[in-house]
Amino acid sequence: MATEASTINPFETAKRQVDIVADLLGLDSGVREILKHPKRELTVNFPVRMDKGGYKVFTGYRVQYNMARGPTKGGIRYHPQVTLDEVRALAAWMTWKCAVVNLPYGGGKGGVICDPKHMSQDELQRLTRRYASEIAPIIGPEMDIPAPDVYTDSQTMAWIMDTYSMQKGYSVPGVVTGKPISLGGSEGRGEATGRGCSYVIREAAPHAGIRVKGGTVAVQGFGNAGSIAAKLLHDEQGAVIVAVSDSKGGIYNAGGLNPHTVEEHKHKTGSVVGFPGAKSITNEEILETKCDILIPAALENQISKKNADKVQAKIVAEAANGPTLPEADTILHERKVTVLPDILANAGGVTVSYFEWAQDISGYFWPLAEVNQKLENVMVRSYADVHKVAEERHVHNRTAAYVLAIQRVVDAINIRGIYP
């Protein structure tokens, strides 16, 4: 049976968001059309030799949405439900995400339709190298820089970097980010999304009328971003983590959960479910948990008009991409819930990816403390920029972030002009 999340076309949502902001900015129809169309799309169908013999043909995509501000940047995901419209939408959101934190990038995204859970490491390597070969003509440090996303990781990036380098005849570490440290990866990249999210929550808390120290936090999605945000809020800012979940379910304890102990339990058992001393709750219930700060860090389309009026948090910080639907934004805004939108709240990942690229290009690498300090500077400044627009225009933070981002892209388009 189709769920609400599965029937929504993400690219239609992305274009709707552009129209809302274009109306606010009074953009003409020509610029709107540019903003609603990807610059370049590549679909590739390629064979991969399977372990049991024979070949299977896979379909992959790479979309470069907008290059007005610089080379495109964005992850590659491996998932059985990847669609071209999903990749288009994610590339559009990457364009706005890079612009809202003022990185000199446009947005891109890639995906391969496959089920990595049922593929061996050797099959994944052959798939990755062939996909990298197919998209090689349109990627590169000056053109388009991939990164990890759903079911891809630093090993995937190492294979892409090596495949691209073999075709060039020399090592090109700057072709991808999210690489292992030994191949030109950056210190701090692994925890950058969660860390950036924790900085933005800290900056927003006074405006939302709460204190992070002693404040309660619920995290839907105790994966990389969610678990790191929880640990940093707990360790560095004194927050109380009352609920966390993963794909198998959630746990709740009003007195607080130690995120490090929960993580150990998850490593041992494969899930947070069954953690001693905690009550079981569902992923739907965690969104409605009584808390000060809610961090949706799992899937898109989680907060809709059906449950937005039941959210009890004062701050919703989107560590995931697209967890809140547009109708829910309006409801939350009317209820004076501060939403920290994905293109701001989870932009720590792409920010440190930018740092990695800059380090690769220069061949000079920074210590962890310097990476984290630079990340904090970017996130603090970006939150202030978004908050200022929200106050001046009397709009919620998502619209403010889009106004800021789209205006920066439009400025670049107008200043460059249309060739020829």
Instruction: Kindly report the CATH number assigned to the domain that includes residue 141.
Output: 3.40.50.10860
Q: What is the pLDDT of residue 6?
A: 55
Structure tokens at 215: 């404040």
The residues, any chain, with a CB within 8 Å of residue 275's CB and separated by 6 or more, are: 251, 257, 261, 262, 265
Q: Encoding tokens for residue 318?
A: 């989107």
Q: Residue 303: beta bridge partners?
A: 324
Label the pairing between strands 72-79 and 144-148. parallel
Identify whether 168 is part of a domain: yes
3-state SS assignment for residue 265: helix
Q: 158 and 200, same structural domain? A: no
- Model confidence at 202, pLDDT cuts 50, 70, 90, reads very high
Strand runs (DSSP E) across 263-341, as ranges? 279-281, 293-296, 315-317, 338-340
User: Domain ends where: 314, 345, 376?
Assistant: 345
Does residue 202 contact residue 180 with C-beta atoms inside 8 Å?
Answer: no
Q: Which of residues 174, 200, 228 is at a domain's end?
A: 174
What integer is the mean pLDDT of 284-303? 94
C-alpha 178/C-alpha 75 separation (Å) is: 9
Q: How many domains does the chain have?
A: 2
Strand order in 293-296's β-sheet?
A: 279-281, 249-257, 240-246, 216-220, 293-296, 315-317, 338-340
303 and 162 co-located in one domain: no
Cite the DSSP H helix spans in 116-191.
Answer: 121-135, 154-168
Phi and psi for 290 in degrees, rounded to 5? -70, 115
Domain-ending residue, one of 319, 345, 371: 345
Task: Say how far apart CA 364 and CA 93 lie, in whole Å.
Answer: 30
pLDDT of residue 265: 96
Same domain as 113, residue 87: yes
**In whole angstroms, what is the distance from residue 78 CA to residue 91 CA?**
15
Mean pLDDT confidence for 66-74: 98
Range of the domain at 304: 192-345
Percent of the chain with pLDDT over 70: 98
On whether the CB atoms of residues 224 and 231 are closer than 8 A, the answer is no
pLDDT in the model for residue 2:
45
Supply the pLDDT for residue 34.
97
Residues 169 and 196 in one domain: no
Residues 331 and 205 in one domain: yes
Output the pLDDT for position 8.
76
- Tell me the average pLDDT across 313-319: 97
1 pLDDT more than 70: no
Encoded tokens for 87: 């990749």
Please indicate, yes or no, whether residues 103 and 54 belong to a single structural domain of this protein.
yes
Structure tokens at 311: 């959210």
The rounded distance, in Å, linking the Cα atoms of 62 and 111 is 7
Average pLDDT estimate for 253-279: 95
Residues 244 and 127 in one domain: no
Q: How far from 23 is each of 94, 111, 179, 182, 406, CA to CA, in Å? A: 21, 32, 40, 47, 12
Is 179 a member of any domain? no
Q: Are residues 157 and 105 in the same domain?
A: yes
The pLDDT value given to residue 301: 86
The three-class DSSP label of residue 224 is: helix
Examine residue 326 and state whether it is found in any structural domain, yes or no: yes
Instruction: Return the structure tokens found at 57.
Output: 């043909």
Q: Would 369 be classed as within a structural domain?
A: no
Q: Can you give the pTM of this predicted structure?
A: 0.94
Same domain? 170 vs 44: yes
Q: Are residues 218 and 318 in the same domain?
A: yes
45: how many CB neighbours lie within 10 A of its CB?
Answer: 10
Name the least confident of 1-10, 144-153, 173-182, 302-311.
1-10
Q: Is the pLDDT of residue 377 over 50?
A: yes
Q: How far is CA 393 from CA 212, 230, 314, 330, 390, in A?
A: 27, 32, 21, 15, 5
Q: What is the mean pLDDT of the chain?
A: 95
What are the catalytic residues?
109
Helix (H) or strand (E) holding 219: strand 216-220
131-186 pLDDT tens trace: 999 999 999 999 999 999 989 999 999 999 999 999 999 999 999 999 999 999 99
Domain-located, residue 291:
yes
| Domain-located, residue 355 | no
End-to-end Cα, the chain, rounded Å: 50
- Domain match, 136 and 61 both: yes
Q: Residue 240's domain is classified under what CATH number?
A: 3.40.50.720
More confident residue, 224 or 160: 160
Q: What is the pLDDT of residues 24-62, one digit of tens each?
A: 999 999 999 999 999 999 999 999 999 999 999 999 999
Q: Angle at CA 416, nearest 5°, toward 414 and 420?
A: 105
- Spell 232-249 as b/e; 16+ CB within 10 A means b: bbbeebebbbbbbbbeeb
pLDDT at 98 over 60: yes
Asked whether residue 164 falls in the same domain as residue 231, the answer is no
The band of 226, judged by pLDDT with boundaries at 50, 70 and 90, is very high
* pLDDT attached to residue 300: 81
Percent of the chain whose pLDDT exceeds 90: 93
